[in-house]
Amino acid sequence: MDYNDLNKKAIDIIQQSGEFVERRNNKNIFEEKGKDNFLSYLDLEIQEYLAKSLKNIFPLANIVSEEYDANPDIDDGHYWIIDPIDGTTNLIHNYPHYCTSITLINNYEPIIGITYNPITKDLFRAQKGKGAFLNDKRINVSKNDILQKSILGFGFPYDKTKILPIVDLLKKAIFKSQDLRRTGSAALDLAYVACGRIDGFFELDLEIWDFAAGSLLISEAGGNISDWKNLRLNFKDKSNIIATNNLIHKELLELINSTNI
């Protein structure tokens, strides 16, 4: 399997998908999937383009995508994991912080991971064993080893019954860190950990398509990503995610687990 060639072709495909964003208009671009959860027609358009294009370059790989599979059934073998737009609410409100993300996994291991912000043109990419890059520049996680001096990203779960315990955690985290950031795009937050823009990130109940690319970016950039029990991610189901520069991983994990969630 020529993963180098697949990686190059996947990069071209995800950059082409950005053209869908550039030429969209603001009329009737979304519908409500449920309270506080929206599906833009742009999501569907990009998803169809990505699924077709990725199938063309690697027909034997299955497709898993946010809008295809509410409960994906991932087994051994190759899978393309697609998130056409991560940060749909930001898109709807013309807040330019959202991205497209694709990952190739084989036997539950990420091989290629790409996250692309079509507005800023930030292209985060990684290939297993070959490092992580932002556009053409190699990236690494931050070197900050003190939680009190760290900037942490976080997200809220869709399940509103779980919000209050997260708020309790945030009350602790704001005093144990330098500052907190909630951007509305977990995939970009994970990419930001990989390039050192933030030192850590945590979120409850993240889906596979939210963290797949970011997990490879972070590991290739020298960081650490795990679940809240400090176990490796299984790429079969949603997970509670903690991602750091590795230097603050233990301390942040202890903080998270000090709250009854």
pLDDT band with cut points at 50, 70 and 90 for residue 257: very high
Same domain, 48 and 78: yes
Q: What is the residue range of 85's domain?
A: 3-138
C-alpha–C-alpha distance, residues 191 and 141, integer Å: 10
Write the CATH number for 250.
Answer: 3.40.190.80
Query: According to the model, what pLDDT value does residue 27 have?
Result: 46
Q: Which residues in 122-140 are b (16+ Cβ under 10 Å) and which e? A: bbbbbbbeeebbbeeeebe
Residue where a domain terminates, one of 119, 138, 157: 138
d(CA 3, CA 168): 44
Find out whether 83 is annotated in a ligand binding site.
Answer: yes
Backbone angles phi, psi at 58, to 5 degrees: -150, 80
Most confident of 37-41, 50-54, 156-160: 50-54
Q: Which H, E and C letters describe 46-114, residue by residue?
A: HHHHHHHHHHHHCCCCEEEECCCCCCCCCCCCEEEEEEEEECHHHHHCCCCCCEEEEEEEECCEEEEEE
Nearest to 41 by CA among 54, 53, 22, 28: 28
Which of residues 91, 118, 138 is at a domain's end? Answer: 138
What's the pLDDT score for residue 35? 42
**pLDDT at 37 exceeding the cut of 60:** no
Beta strands in 109-206 (DSSP E): 109-117, 122-127, 132-134, 137-138, 151-154, 179-181, 200-206
Same domain, 126 and 153: no
Q: What element of type H or E holds 33?
A: strand 30-34
Report, as an integer, the average pLDDT of 174-201: 98
Residue 86, marked binder: yes
On whether the pTM is more than 0.95, the answer is no
pLDDT, residue 29, reads: 52
What is the mean predicted confidence (pLDDT) over 149-177? 94
Evaluate the CA torsion angle 28, 34, 36, 37 in order and state its sign: negative
Question: According to the model, what pLDDT value does residue 36 have?
Answer: 44
> Is 66 within any annotated ligand binding site?
yes
210 annotated binding-site participant: yes
Indicate which CATH number applies to the domain containing 53.
3.30.540.10
Q: Which pLDDT band holds residue 72 (cuts at 50, 70, 90)? A: low
Same domain, residue pair 14 and 87: yes
- Does one domain contain both 209 and 99? no
Domain count, the chain: 2
Helix or strand or coil: residue 138? strand
Over residues 51-63, the mean pLDDT reads: 96
Question: Are 145 and 247 a contacting pair, CB within 8 Å?
Answer: yes
% of the chain with per-residue pLDDT over 90: 76
Residues 75 and 164 in one domain: no
10, 96: one domain: yes
Predicted confidence at residue 43, as pLDDT, reads 84
Mean pLDDT of 214-227: 99
> Annotation-wise, does 76 bind a ligand?
no
Query: Does residue 39 have a pLDDT over 90?
Result: no
* Confidence check: pLDDT of 162 > 70: yes
How do beta strands 78-86 and 62-65 pair? Answer: parallel
